[in-house]
Amino acid sequence: MPDAVLLWFRRDLRLHEHPALTAALERGGAVVPAFCLDPRLLSGRHRSGSRTQFLLESLRALDDALRERGSRLVVRHGKPELELPSLAREAGASEVLATGDIGPYARRRDQAVARALAERGLALRLHPGLFVADDPAAIHTSQGTPYTVFTPFHRAWLRAPRRPVLPAPSSVPALPGGLRPGRIPSLAAVGLEPTASDPAPGGEPAGRRAMGRFLADGVPGYHRRNDMLAAEGTSRLSPYLHFGCVSGRELEERLAPGEGPEAFRRQLCWRDFYAHVLRHFPRNARSEHQARYRATMRWSHARREFDAWREGRTGYPLVDAAMRQLQREGWMHNRARLVAGSFLTKDLGIDWRWGERWFMRLLIDGDEANNNGNWQWIASVGVDTQPPYRRIYNPALHQQRFDPDGRYVRRHVPELRGVPDGYLAEPWTMPPHVQEQAGCVIGRDYPAPIVDHLEARREALERYAAAR
């Protein structure tokens, strides 16, 4: 009988389309599914109550699925480089299998675990499964260099080979006798509180239901509706992709031909692209990709303006609706993320890192590579460069284009519900008698704009010109 194998779950909390799980089962011996609650992630700089709650729900769902197949999820609390060698010895495992990841912390963690295992004569073997391409970092230009522009990366990504989509196993061997499975804690037990009042539920079953609905109803018109703020035109799958409750590879495989599916496939590629960028440029996690802005850009650190932005009190309805949606759901429409990010970095001139940290605190889909890449993109300091003026978004114009009937804004900013459509994008332009009739007096019921957009735009262009 082959030795047992330890299957270390991380951001791959599913049984469908799981190459490491398939490899573990093919060995023919005992399989020990395990998850390690790493205190450095639970309480580190990207700690998040709602994202951790989503994680714990996903772990419970994974444990339920393993129980249905004859096994259990083994849970340990502590640093993986300490807990996993001990668990491997306890289980009689000869090696540890896991799904590879790309972030700077994930790579340092894996190196530490590999060293600790090697001291005991054990090996850590990494498998694909987190992205559509097996290894986005392995996609290179014809000169062998990493990509820093999305469009050529997209072309190369489309040509990259794909692994076959794997089914979920019907059974998983029982745990070795006497092995203590441990317990999945409550959120309070790990010292956190939820930050969202109405988040999406975690777990593979919830993710597969959401994937099924999107593939049936959302994909065909995705290219027409994905930017419309009030429509259910996006997939809402980002939290499930982040934690691996659904597989990006399976999702791509199930896309039919057509404009909608191709537009969504392009969004999956953006996820792989930002993973590619962070793997090759790990310093992006803390500083601008473009060296010319690292020491010369004059960022504001105005706390009052930042607080108004994060609390949804800027006086710009679309920005405020976006920030309040984030607080309520732990999620934000992608178009709204861009407008909110542009407003913080361009209109207010505030350091993009402040926005990145706030998003990572509240987002249940908070992903270091995607979040960092998108914040640097909208701040005009990252890869895929465009002139700064191309990414200074007018909140009123975006609201008129992507929320023309005001349903999104009124849903999240209830004090504006009585404002007539013609004034909703710029409510401060209402005459006093209209404000009274609408029950929304500017400065009393809803704040006046904290900046003038046109003046802020001029100042932003001056800052970027001076930094260059």
What does 77-135 look like in DSSP terms, one character per residue?
A: ES-HHHHHHHHHHHHTEEEEEEE---SHHHHHHHHHHHHHHHTTT-EEEEE--SSSSS-
With vertex at residue 45, the alpha carbon angle to CA 275 and CA 85, rounded to the nearest 5 degrees, is: 75
pLDDT of amino acid 340: 98
- Measured distance CA(57)–CA(131) in Å, rounded: 22
SS3 238: helix
SS3 424: helix
Q: How far is CA 168 from CA 65, 129, 136, 206, 296, in A?
A: 10, 13, 24, 16, 52
Do residues 85 and 120 touch, judged by C-beta distance below 8 A?
yes
Q: How many CA atoms lie within 13 A of 261 on its CB side?
A: 10
The CATH number, out of the four listed (2.40.50.140, 3.30.365.10, 1.25.40.80, 3.40.50.920), of the domain defined by the range 131-165+203-280 = 1.25.40.80
- Measured distance CA(321)–CA(317) in Å, rounded: 6
pLDDT of amino acid 1: 57
Domain residue ranges in the chain: 4-130, 131-165+203-280, 291-467
CB under 8 Å to 192, separation ≥6 — which residues? 42, 47, 48, 49, 52, 53
Provide the strand spans (E) within 119-229. 123-127
- Measured distance CA(420)–CA(438) in Å, rounded: 7
From the list 345, 355, 353, 369, the residue with the least C-alpha distance to 274 is 369
Two tokens, residue 320: 């405020």
From the list 364, 224, 375, 198, the residue with the least C-alpha distance to 286 is 375
From the list 57, 50, 331, 320, the residue with the least C-alpha distance to 195 is 50
pLDDT of amino acid 35: 98
pLDDT of amino acid 295: 87
SS3 188: helix
Helices (H), 317-394: 317-329, 334-342, 352-362, 368-378
CA dihedral 250, 36, 137, 369 (to 10 degrees): 90
**Residue showing tokens 């909208």:** 378
pLDDT of amino acid 385: 79
How far, in whole angstroms, is CA 87 from its chain's centroid?
Answer: 30
pLDDT of amino acid 402: 97
Class of domain 291-467: mainly alpha
- Measured distance CA(429)–CA(442) in Å, rounded: 9
Q: CATH code for 4-130?
A: 3.40.50.620
With vertex at residue 62, the alpha carbon angle to CA 59 and CA 66, rounded to the nearest 5 degrees, is: 140
Q: Could you tell me how many helices (H) and strands (E) the chain has, helices first?
A: 21, 5
SS3 5: strand
Residue 37 DSSP code: E
- Measured distance CA(321)–CA(409) in Å, rounded: 5
Do residues 417 and 428 touch, judged by C-beta distance below 8 A?
no
Beta pairing partners, 32: 6
Residue type for position 129: G
pLDDT of amino acid 384: 80
Q: Are strands 123-127 and 31-37 parallel, antiparallel or unpaired?
A: unpaired
- Measured distance CA(100)–CA(137) in Å, rounded: 11
Do residues 374 and 341 touch, judged by C-beta distance below 8 A?
yes
Two tokens, residue 300: 């504001």
Positions of the chain with pLDDT lower than 50, given as ranges = none
Residue type for position 39: P
pLDDT of amino acid 361: 97
> Same CATH topology for 131-165+203-280 and 291-467?
no
